[in-house]
């Protein structure tokens, strides 16, 4: 096995907003296929495709009603096969998002399960009787607000849902559910996909006894009810790890496929390591660098140094479809192109597998989506305190001067932020100094240097705002230095170094490195 994913760069595609081939305002599989050349030129190793499966779209594909059917919004199974073939012809791997923790309430499994208490799938979901006073069986809370339980009038019981009420949780304590999920995975493996991204992978099992979560005793207010609890019983159960091992055994039968877990936990790094120890999943990414801030050298250093396992392999990302884009989240509304370039340059030097969210290679800021155009149920529920996830999900701008920035001739499902026209692909392709062209150079640089893809990582003490670390593999020693401030800084070097021209504007003279605002260097230590 060549373990293509280890140290590679995987590009996340949010299909609704990537490329619209039929001008209905929503991106689709054929649109993605038409842009495979763009992705190959970018230099990434593989693609992660967010859900394209049949769904009522209450949570935009993360509420699956048929795991083995493509939603007509995106095309059909033949279109999927064609995209897979096109990606493979271009030398790109294709991994798909699988949402096993829960289904849509329109899934045939749930339709049968809710029909009675004694049907063949009666125990396929988490059902419980009401308390004596008619209330829900325990105090669990949904991430999207309110109780994690909804009353079903047919069964006269409550069913559990960690997310929307339209997303009932499967009961993985039932072995038939585990078998059915493995059959779904086998269906896609047999079609030739290269791996899975497992949505909320530590949420599959809940406590059999449905015990109450204890309160989280910390000072200060919490922005949402969910964070008032210590989630001891509604996620991250020991049985979950056993299923991950069973899932891995299935995937290993097919060769060099990858499994990556999305981990949601108060213990970001520790839980990710737990899920990626040998025999479990290949890697995991967590929300440490997706939710915390402000950006500082100590933040990045703490995240990377917290990954203490010598056997589990990490993954890192600065943006995805659930959080404010990194340029805006860490740099503010006025963040410069230099700041966006710094983020990309720094990300491509980290140890682990790198996930690059669509549009970050363009340096896109978070889009402004007016309230009357919001689509995200989370954003609508918590508005105006949270604008939700729509601002990071708006369409990719392909052509600066075209209608809807070349995404579609029809009004898109989410509006194109007028500011995003200036970040369009066609404009950036023509500019050698653009963020897009820097992203290409950073990815190519990572591919050329095995120390960045596979080497060890040790931090070198430096005062804020300087971040300095070494990447070493065999005889190659690279010193990576980044300036996380808007002021020029000078840093003494630990020894003789050769500048490898990493395109972030830094320079060396004698034993001193000079870094412009948000500049950086990668040096070969002699």
Closest CA to 360 of 330, 381, 386: 330
**pLDDT tens for each residue of 210-264:** 999 999 877 566 778 899 999 999 999 999 999 999 999 999 999 999 999 999 8
**pLDDT tens for each residue of 102-151:** 999 999 999 999 999 999 999 999 999 999 999 999 999 999 889 999 99
> Under the phi-then-psi rule, with left for phi > 0, alpha for psi from -120 to 50, and beta for the rest, what region is 304?
alpha
Mean pLDDT for 446-457 is 98
d(CA 487, CA 188): 50
Which residue would you say has higher pLDDT here, 220 or 36? 36
Give the CA-trace dihedral at 234, 238, 242, 247, to 10 degrees: 30
Closest CA to 390 of 339, 324, 451: 324
Using a 10 angstrom Cβ sphere, with 0-12 exposed, 13-18 middle and 19 or more buried, the burial of residue 324 is buried
Other CB atoms within 10 A of residue 372 CB: 5
Give the residue numbers annotated as catalytic, written as ranges: 199, 262
Closest CA to 413 of 393, 388, 397, 387: 393
Closest CA to 36 of 73, 74, 91: 91
pTM, rounded to two decimals: 0.97
Mean pLDDT for 84-110 is 98
**pLDDT tens for each residue of 317-341:** 999 999 999 999 999 999 999 999 9
CATH of domain 455-525: 2.60.40.1180
Using a 10 angstrom Cβ sphere, with 0-12 exposed, 13-18 middle and 19 or more buried, the burial of residue 56 is middle
pLDDT value of residue 268: 87
Task: With a cut of 90, say whether residue 378 has pLDDT above it.
Answer: no
Mean pLDDT for 418-426 is 98
Domain spans of the chain? Answer: 9-103+175-445, 455-525
pLDDT band at 524; cut points 50, 70, 90: very high
Weakest-pLDDT range from 60-69, 145-154, 217-226, 494-503: 217-226
Task: With a cut of 80, say whether residue 387 has pLDDT above it.
Answer: no
Task: With a cut of 80, say whether residue 76 has pLDDT above it.
Answer: yes
pLDDT value of residue 219: 58
d(CA 270, CA 246): 21
pLDDT value of residue 372: 86
Give the CA-trace dihedral at 330, 333, 336, 337, to 10 degrees: 80
**Residue whose token pair is 């699956």:** 64
Contact partners, residue 503, CB within 8 Å, separation at least 6? 341, 345, 438, 441, 442
The reply to whether omega before 424 is within 30° of 0 (cis) is no
Contact 412, 392 (CB under 8 A): no
Q: What is the mean pLDDT of the chain?
A: 96
Report the DSSP pairing between strands 46-49 and 149-152. unpaired
**pLDDT tens for each residue of 158-175:** 999 999 999 999 999 999
Which residue would you say has higher pLDDT here, 382 or 109? 109
Q: Domain 9-103+175-445 belongs to what topology?
A: TIM Barrel (3.20.20)
Task: With a cut of 80, say whether residue 33 has pLDDT above it.
Answer: yes
As beta bridge partners, residue 386 has none
d(CA 243, CA 185): 13
**Residue whose token pair is 């720094």:** 346
pLDDT value of residue 221: 66
């Amino acid at each position: 096995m060549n373990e293509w994913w280890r140290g590679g760069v995987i590009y996340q595609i949010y299909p609704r907003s990537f490329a619209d081939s039929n001008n209905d305002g929503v991106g689709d599989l054929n649109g993605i296929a038409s842009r495979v050349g763009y992705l190959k030129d970018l230099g990434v190793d593989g693609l992660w495709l967010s859900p394209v499966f049949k769904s009522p779209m209450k949570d935009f594909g993360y509420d699956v009603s048929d795991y083995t059917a493509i939603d007509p919004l995106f095309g059909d199974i033949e279109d999927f096969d064609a995209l897979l073939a096109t990606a493979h012809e271009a030398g790109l791997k294709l991994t798909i998002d699988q949402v096993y923790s829960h289904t849509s309430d329109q899934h045939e499994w749930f339709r049968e399960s809710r029909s009675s208490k004694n049907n063949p799938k009666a125990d396929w979901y988490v059902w419980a009787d009401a308390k004596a006073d008619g209330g829900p069986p325990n105090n669990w809370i949904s991430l999207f607000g309110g109780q994690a339980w909804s009353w079903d009038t047919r069964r006269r019981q409550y069913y559990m849902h960690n997310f929307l009420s339209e997303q009932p949780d499967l009961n993985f304590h039932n072995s038939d559910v585990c078998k059915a999920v493995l059959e779904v995975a086998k269906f896609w493996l047999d079609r030739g996909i290269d791996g899975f991204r497992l949505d909320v992978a530590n949420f599959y099992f809940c406590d059999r006894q449905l015990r109450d979560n204890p309160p989280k005793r910390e000072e200060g207010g919490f922005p949402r009810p969910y964070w008032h609890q210590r989630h001891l019983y509604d996620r991250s159960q020991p049985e979950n790890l056993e299923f991950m091992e069973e899932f891995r055994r299935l995937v290993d039968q097919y060769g060099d496929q990858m499994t990556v877990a999305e981990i949601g936990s108060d213990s970001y790094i520790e839980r990710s390591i737990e899920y990626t120890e040998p025999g479990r999943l290949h890697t995991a990414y967590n929300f440490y660098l997706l939710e915390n801030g402000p950006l500082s050298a100590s933040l990045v250093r703490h995240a990377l140094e917290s990954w203490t396992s010598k056997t589990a392999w990490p993954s890192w990302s600065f943006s995805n479809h659930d959080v404010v884009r990194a340029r805006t989240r860490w740099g503010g509304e006025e963040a410069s192109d230099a700041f966006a370039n710094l983020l990309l340059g720094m990300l491509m030097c980290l140890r682990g597998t790198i996930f690059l969210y669509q549009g970050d290679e363009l340096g896109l800021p978070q889009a402004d989506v007016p309230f009357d155009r919001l689509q995200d149920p989370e954003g609508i529920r918590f508005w105006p305190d949270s604008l939700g996830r729509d601002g990071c999900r708006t369409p990719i701008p392909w052509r600066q001067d075209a209608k809807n920035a070349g995404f579609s001739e029809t009004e898109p499902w989410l509006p194109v932020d007028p500011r995003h026209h200036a970040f369009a692909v066609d404009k950036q392709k023509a500019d050698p100094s653009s963020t897009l062209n820097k992203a290409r150079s950073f990815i190519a640089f990572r591919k050329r240097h095995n120390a960045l893809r596979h080497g060890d990582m040790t931090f070198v003490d430096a005062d804020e705002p300087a971040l300095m670390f070494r990447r070493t593999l065999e005889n190659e020693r690279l010193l990576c230095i980044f300036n996380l401030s808007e002021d020029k800084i000078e840093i003494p070097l630990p020894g003789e170094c050769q500048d490898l021209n990493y395109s972030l504007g830094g320079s060396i003279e004698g034993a001193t490195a000079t870094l412009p605002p948000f500049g950086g260097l990668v040096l070969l230590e002699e």
